[in-house]
Amino acid sequence: MFSTKWVVVPLAGTALVGLITQDIHPHRTPALTLAVSKTFLYYILEAIYNVLFHPLRKIPGPRSAAASRLSYTLARVRGRATHRSKDLHDKYGHVVRIAPDILSFTTSQAWDGQSPIAARSFICLVRSLTNP
């Protein structure tokens, strides 16, 4: 049914021995392609929703942060989240959208709703939390 052969693949100065199958089931390939396509489409549609239709869409911040949590996660993993937040606040103001569902505030007035953008962001935040 399957024909196999042993292959030695050099990898970073060492030899890795792997078992490679030569026959691929043709009926399984479309299912895998469909699954990958659906996953990719889901993330694209989610990014479009986050940028254009999310309740927090009017809060200032970079589009990449509004579309996905990837930039936020990378900044946290690299240990640069606070530096990135400060840079975003310098550029966008006291209220910044640093991820699709995360807002960052620099002053208590921004959180208390003293400024128009803070009041709008707080209302949008409450709506997004109460209407999942």
List the chain pLDDT tens, one digit each, 132 residues.
444 444 444 444 444 444 444 455 555 567 778 888 899 999 999 999 999 998 888 889 999 999 999 999 999 999 999 899 999 999 998 888 999 988 888 877 666 655 555 555 555 555 555 555
Q: Return the pLDDT at 116.
A: 55
Q: Return the pLDDT at 59.
A: 87
Sign of CA dihedral 107, 126, 119, 67: positive
Check: CB of residue 128 under 8 Å from CB of residue 53: no
Q: Return the pLDDT at 103.
A: 85
SS3 47: helix
